[in-house]
Amino acid sequence: MLKKIIGGLLMFLCMSMSFAVVNINSATEEELSTLKGVGPAKAKAIVVYRIQNGAFKSTKDLQKVKGIGEKTYDGLKNDITINDDHKTKVRAVKNTNQKTKEAKPVKKVNSTTRSTQ
């Protein structure tokens, strides 16, 4: 029973992480480390490069970072962005799984009340 619960939690975590898009211009080392193929050393190299050279102008600029070649970039390109508008899209996808609240009924207005003019 406990194995099923833990397995379910792990599956949920993996699924929720699959929707995440990381902004390489604002991500911390920890956030960058969540990307497949990026460990602590590459994450630090990305942050150092960004500090020394400024913001990435395109996601392909990530290949200018030592240790990140074409193969690594190809594995990351769908999980990275240089824009913040992807975060909004990710939230919209995640929120579709939440239950919607039922609307409360509107109170009837007494027709005998006077309106002031």
**Local confidence pLDDT in tens for the 117 residues of the chain:** 777 777 665 555 554 445 579 999 999 999 999 999 999 999 999 999 999 999 999 999 999 999 999 999 999 999 999 987 645 344 333 444 444 444 555 555 565 555 555
User: Domains, the chain, ranges and CATH?
Assistant: 19-90 (1.10.150.320)
Please report the pLDDT score of residue 12 as a whole number: 53
Query: How many CA atoms within 13 Å lie on the side-chain side of 99?
Result: 3
pTM of the model: 0.57
How many Cβ atoms sit within 10 Å of the Cβ of residue 79?
20
Phi then psi for residue 29, to 5 deg, are -60, -40
Residue 73 burial (10 A CB sphere; 0-12, 13-18, 19+): middle
Start-to-end CA distance of the chain, whole Å, equals 69
Q: Which residue has the tokens 């002031």?
A: 116
